[in-house]
Amino acid sequence: MVFVSVLIIVVVGLFIYLSSLTDNFKFSKTMLVLSLVSIMANISLAQNYTHSLLPGVHDGIGISNKIAYWIITDDDWGNRWSVELFKMFYDRSSILLILVISMLVLSIVIETRVDKSSTNL
């Protein structure tokens, strides 16, 4: 939860900062940053999930990297860590990644069309 909260604050702050710098602000730049962060989180959760499937990697079940720890944390899920929980986080992260990349592509297409139409005037 901490990771998601910080991520939202960073993206909103970046959006406000970039929009205040110039009149021709591109939303796709913000979506690109969000996409890169989402890719890193998804890779970390995938690695954590696959490590939980391998017997003998951990003495019990644990989180295998810092980014996955920031997302899952001890606070909310510490007493209930399981392979199913790690798979749930990875699945949700994958869905979120697909949505974010779709929004990135859509924003690039819209911005390209708007730029072409404004140059034709």
Give me the pLDDT at residue 27, please: 76
> Taking the model in full, what pTM does it have?
0.72
Percent of the chain past pLDDT 70, that is, above it, reads 74
Report the C-alpha gap between 3 and 80 in whole angstroms.
Answer: 19
Residue pointed to by tokens 């720890």:
69
Asked if pLDDT for residue 78 goes beyond 60, the answer is no
Q: How do residues 15-37 score in pLDDT, each as one tens digit? A: 666 666 666 667 788 788 888 88
Q: How do the domains of the chain map onto residue ranges?
A: 26-109
How confident is the prediction for the chain on average, in pLDDT? 79
Tokens of 118: 């404004």
Give me the pLDDT at residue 114, please: 78
